[in-house]
Amino acid sequence: MPVYKIYTYPESILKHKAKPVHDINDEIQKLVDGMYETMHFASGVGLAATQVGNENAVFVVDVPAENEQRYMFTVINPVLVESSGESSREEGCLSLPGFRVDVKRAERIVIKGFDRNGKDLVIEAQGLLAVAIQHEMDHLNGITLIDKASLLKREAYIKSLKKGSRE
Ligand code: CO
């Protein structure tokens, strides 16, 4: 199973809006397997298909929870059905190496979609898991952390990329 290339800013694929999956076939299974492998290889807590250059509306997460639980799952065609509260956390992204920014998001969300077997999925999340899900759903809408940053912060990052001074 190949580990996919992770596209990084400013590659234009990251701005593409994902398309709904109509048939959860072998190709999608392969994509999901490859996305897990890529996410784990890169030590990420989430990955959207957009980030590996694929336009299907699919994301995976593997988020550690406070109580030694672990939330590892796939969502196909995610839709936000409820959101409430507000919290701000510093986030990073595999597509923006070295970039960190505080992002305000809903504290609690409910999403629906399908799992990799095509079964209906409803997920209620809060805390870090809610952050990860909203972050990945942004990717599927062509939005990355750079869009959430101030102009100053964005320009500084672009400058650092040009210099190649980031680690
Ligand atoms: Co990301």
C-alpha 98 to ligand 1 mean position (Å): 12
User: Which pLDDT score, from 0 to 100, does residue 68 have?
Assistant: 75
Q: Is residue 7 assigned to a domain?
A: no
Q: Is residue 39 part of a domain?
A: yes
Q: Does residue 22 fall inside a structural domain?
A: yes
Residues belonging to the chain: 167
Instruction: For the chain, give the secondary structure using H, E and C.
Output: CCCCCCCCCCCHHHHCCCECCCCCCHHHHHHHHHHHHHHHHCCCCEEEHHHHCCCECEEEEEEECCCCCEEEEEEEEEEEEEEECCEEEEECCCCCCCCCEEEEECCEEEEEEECCCCCEEEEEEEHHHHHHHHHHHHHHCCCCHHHHCCHHHHHHHHHHHHHCCCC
* pLDDT tens per residue, range 73-85: 999 999 999 999 9
Q: Per the domain annotation, does 5 fall within a domain?
A: no
Q: Which phi and psi (to 5°) does residue 59 adopt?
A: -140, 160
Q: Percentage of the chain with pLDDT > 70?
A: 97
CA–CA separation, 72 vs 93, rounded Å? 18
Domain of 33, CATH number, reads 3.90.45.10
- Which candidate in 27, 86, 136, 155 is catalytic? 136
The pLDDT of 151-167, averaged and rounded, is 85
Does residue 2 fall inside a structural domain?
Answer: no
pLDDT score at 8: 97
Using the structure block, give the residue that is written with the tokens 């979609």: 113
**Beta partners for residue 126, in sequence order:** 108
* pLDDT tens track for 42-60: 999 999 999 999 999 999 9
Encode pLDDT of 108-150 as tens digits: 999 999 999 999 999 999 999 999 999 999 999 999 999 999 9
Catalytic site includes residue 90: no
Q: Compute, in angstroms, the gap from residue 7 CA to the centroid of ligand 1.
A: 10
Separation of 68 CA from ligand 1 center, angstroms? Answer: 23
Distance 25 CA to ligand 1 centre (A): 25
Q: What is the 24 CA–ligand 1 centroid distance (Å)?
A: 23
d(CA 124, CA 133): 10
Q: Into how many domains does the chain fold?
A: 1
pLDDT of 166 strictly over 60? no
Distance, CA of 38 to CA of 4 (rounded, Å): 6
Confidence band, pLDDT 50/70/90 cuts, at residue 161: very high
Which pLDDT score, from 0 to 100, does residue 42 have?
96
Looking at residue 156, its amino acid is A
Within a domain: residue 32? yes
Is 4 a domain residue?
Answer: no
CA of 38 to the centre of ligand 1 (A): 13
**Segment 36-45, tens digit of pLDDT:** 999 999 999 9
Domain that holds residue 101: 12-166
Neighbours of ion ligand 1 (CB under 5 A): 93
Residue 124 lies in a domain: yes
Average per-residue pLDDT for the chain: 95
Residue 165 has what pLDDT?
54
pLDDT for the residue numbered 2: 63
